[in-house]
Amino acid sequence: MLKGVITVMLQPNVLDVQGQAVQGALKHLGFESVEKVRIGRQIEMILPTEDREAARLQLREMAEQLLANPVIEDFQIDIQEA
Amino acid sequence: MLKGVITVMLQPNVLDVQGQAVQGALKHLGFESVEKVRIGRQIEMILPTEDREAARLQLREMAEQLLANPVIEDFQIDIQEA
Amino acid sequence: MHCAVLVFPGSNCDVDLYKAILQIKGATAEYVWHTDTDLDRFDVLLIPGGFTYGDYLRPGALAGVSPVIASVKKAANSGKLVLGICNGFQILIEAGLLPGALLPNQSLQFICDVVPVKVVQSKSPFTSSYNHGDLLRLPIAHGSGNYYCDEVTHQELESNGQIAFSFPPENNPNGSLAGITGLLNEQRNVLGMMPHPERAVKQWLGSTDGLRLFQSMLEHHTA
Amino acid sequence: MPQEPSPQQIAEQTIYREMGLNPDEYNRIVELLGRQPNYTETGIFAVMWSEHCSYKNSKPLLKLFPTEGPQVLQGPGEGAGIVDIGDGWAVVFKVESHNHPTAVEPYQGAATGVGGILRDIFSMGARPIALMNSLRFGTLDKAHNRYLLSHAVSGIAAYGNCIGVPTVGGEVFLETCYDENPLVNVFCLGIVKHDQIQHGKASGLGNPVLYLGNATGRDGIHGATFASEELSEGSASKRPAVQVGDPFAGKRLLEACLEIYQTGAVVSVQDMGAAGLTCSSTEMGFKGQTGIDLNLDKVPKRAESMTAYEIMLSESQERMLFVIEKGRESEVQKICDKWELPNAIVGEVTNNQHLSLFQDGQQVANLPLDACCELTPVYQREAHPPEKETLPKSSSPEKEPKNYLEVLKQLLVHPNISDKSWVYQQYDSMVGTRTAQGPGGDAAVIILEECQKALAISMDGNSRYVVLDPYLGGLITVAEAARNVVCAGARPLALTDGLNYGSPEKPEIFWQMQESVRGMAEACEFLSLPVTGGNVSLYNESRGEAIYPTPIIGMVGLIENLNHITPSNFQSLGDQIWLLGETFAELGGSCYQEISSGRIFGNAPKLELDREKNLQEAVLVAIESGLVSSAHDLSLGGLAVALVKASTESFTASVSFESALRADEFLFSESQSRILLSIPNQFSALLQSIMSERKIPSLLIGEVVSDQFRISFNDELLIQDQIQSLKACWRDGFRDYFTKT
Ligand SMILES: Nc1ncnc2c1ncn2[C@@H]1O[C@H](COP(=O)(O)OP(=O)(O)O)[C@@H](O)[C@H]1O
Ligand SMILES: [Mg+2]
DSSP C199: G
| pLDDT tens track for A7-63 | 999 999 898 999 999 999 999 889 999 999 999 999 999 999 999 999 999 999 999
CB contact under 8 Å between B29 and A66, yes or no, is yes
Distance from CA of B50 to the nearest CA of C (A): 33
* Side chain identity, residue D600: I
Instruction: List beta partners, residue D305.
Output: none
| C-alpha neighbours within 13 Å on the C-beta side of residue D378 | 10
Average pLDDT value for residue range D580-602: 95
Q: Are D612 and D581 in contact, with CB atoms under 8 Å apart?
A: no
Q: What is the pLDDT of residue D231?
A: 52
| D230 pLDDT tier (thresholds 50, 70, 90) | low
Pick the residue with more confidence: C25 or D303? C25
Average pLDDT value for residue range D729-736: 96
Determine whether D159 is exposed, middle or buried from the number of CB atoms within 10 Å of its CB (0-12, 13-18, 19+): buried
Determine whether B20 is exposed, middle or buried from the number of CB atoms within 10 Å of its CB (0-12, 13-18, 19+): buried
Q: Is the pLDDT of residue D239 over 50?
A: no
- Secondary structure in 3-state letters for D648-709: CCCCEEEEEECCCCCHHHHHHCCCCCCEEEEECHHHHHHHHHHHHHCCCCEEEEEEEECCEE
Q: Could you tell me which CATH number the domain at D198-376 has? A: 3.90.650.10
Report the distance separating Cα C136 and Cα C114, nearest Å.
10
Q: Which CATH superfamily is domain B2-81 in?
A: Phosphoribosylformylglycinamidine synthase subunit PurS (3.30.1280.10)
Q: Is the pLDDT of residue B12 over 90?
A: no
CB contact under 8 Å between A46 and B34, yes or no, is yes
Q: Is the pLDDT of residue D222 over 80?
A: no
Which residue among D172, D416, D419 is best mutated to probe the pocket of ligand 1, counting the most ligand atoms within 8 A of its Cβ? D172
Q: What is the pLDDT of residue D236?
A: 39
Chain D positions in Cβ-Cβ contact with residue C139 (cut-off 8 Å): 430
Instruction: List beta partners, residue D72.
Output: D83
Residue minimizing CA distance to atom 24 of ligand 1: D440
Percent of chain B with pLDDT over 70: 100
CB contact under 8 Å between A17 and C106, yes or no, is yes
Q: Is the pLDDT of residue D3 over 80?
A: no
Give D271 Cα–ligand 1 centroid separation in angstroms.
Answer: 30
Pick the residue with more confidence: D140 or D232? D140
Nearest one of D650, D711, D645 to D676, comparing CA atoms:
D645
Give B28 Cα–ligand 2 centroid separation in angstroms.
Answer: 49
Domain D567-741 CATH assignment equals 3.90.45.10: no
Instruction: Sketch the domain layout of chain D as residue ranges.
Output: 198-376, 567-741
Terminal Cα-to-Cα distance of chain D (whole angstroms): 48
Determine whether D348 is exposed, middle or buried from the number of CB atoms within 10 Å of its CB (0-12, 13-18, 19+): buried
Give D645 Cα–ligand 1 centroid separation in angstroms.
Answer: 11
Q: What is the pLDDT of residue D704?
A: 98
Distance from CA of C10 to the nearest CA of B (A): 11
Percent of chain C with pLDDT over 90: 99
* Side chain identity, residue D275: A
Q: Are D244 and D108 in contact, with CB atoms under 8 Å apart?
A: yes
Determine whether D207 is exposed, middle or buried from the number of CB atoms within 10 Å of its CB (0-12, 13-18, 19+): buried
Q: Is the pLDDT of residue D224 over 50?
A: no
Report the distance separating Cα C107 and Cα C109, nearest Å.
5
Q: What is the pLDDT of residue D398?
A: 85
Q: What is the pLDDT of residue D542?
A: 84
Closest Cβ opposite residue C54 in set B17, B28, B29: B17
Q: What is the pLDDT of residue D2?
A: 59
CB contact under 8 Å between C10 and D431, yes or no, is no
Contacts of D among chains (3+ CB pairs under 8 A): B, C
| pLDDT tens track for C169-218 | 999 999 999 999 999 999 999 999 999 999 999 999 999 999 999 999 99
| C-alpha neighbours within 13 Å on the C-beta side of residue D196 | 22
Ligand 1 near D439 CB (within 6 A): yes
Q: Are C80 and C40 in contact, with CB atoms under 8 Å apart?
A: no
Average pLDDT value for residue range D362-377: 94
Helix (H, G, I), strand (E, B), or coil: what is residue D148? helix
Number of A to C CB contacts under 8 A, please give it.
Answer: 34
Report the distance separating Cα D664 and Cα D667, nearest Å.
5
Q: What is the pLDDT of residue D223?
A: 45
CB contact under 8 Å between B22 and C54, yes or no, is no
Average pLDDT value for residue range D23-42: 96
Q: Is the pLDDT of residue D241 over 50?
A: no
Q: Are C193 and C89 in contact, with CB atoms under 8 Å apart?
A: yes
User: E strand or H helix at B45, and its extent?
Assistant: strand B35-47
Q: Is the pLDDT of residue D228 over 80?
A: no
- From the candidates C13, C94, C142, C196, which is the catalytic residue? C196
Give D126 Cα–ligand 1 centroid separation in angstroms.
Answer: 26
Catalytic (active-site) positions of D: 52, 98
Nearest one of D99, D95, D124 to D192, comparing CA atoms:
D124
* Side chain identity, residue D393: K
State how far Cα D323 lies from the chain centre.
29
What value does the mean pLDDT of chain D take?
A: 94
Residues 6+ apart with CB under 8 A from B48: A33, A35, B1
Nearest one of D176, D474, B4 to A35, comparing CA atoms:
B4
Q: What is the pLDDT of residue D219?
A: 84
Q: Decide if the complex's ipTM is over 0.90.
A: yes
Cβ of residue D188 closer than 8 Å to a chain C Cβ: no
Cα radius of gyration (chain C): 16
State how far Cα D313 lies from the chain centre.
25
Nearest ligand (C-alpha, residue D637): 1
User: What is the DSSP code string of D361-409?
Assistant: TEEEEEEEHHHHHTS---------PPPPPP--S-SS-SS--S-HHHHHH
Q: What is the pLDDT of residue D234?
A: 43
State how far Cα B36 lies from the chain centre.
16
Handedness of CA D344, D349, D355, D358 (dihedral sign): negative
Average pLDDT value for residue range D665-681: 98
Instruction: Sketch the domain layout of chain B as residue ranges.
Output: 2-81
Cβ of residue D246 closer than 8 Å to a chain C Cβ: yes
Average pLDDT value for residue range C26-30: 97
Report the distance separating Cα D320 and Cα C3, nearest Å.
35
Residues 6+ apart with CB under 8 A from D541: D181, D230, D231, D502, D503, D547
DSSP C202: B
| pLDDT tens track for D273-288 | 878 999 999 999 999 9
Record: fold of C2-222: Rossmann fold (3.40.50)
Nearest one of D687, D557, D561, D667 to D622, comparing CA atoms:
D687
How distant, in Å, are the alpha carbons of A46, B12, B63, C62, C108 from that of B9?
15, 8, 12, 21, 21
User: E strand or H helix at D267, and its extent?
Assistant: strand D266-271
Question: Which of A62, A64, A65, A76 to substitute to test the interface with B, most B CBs within 10 Å?
Answer: A62
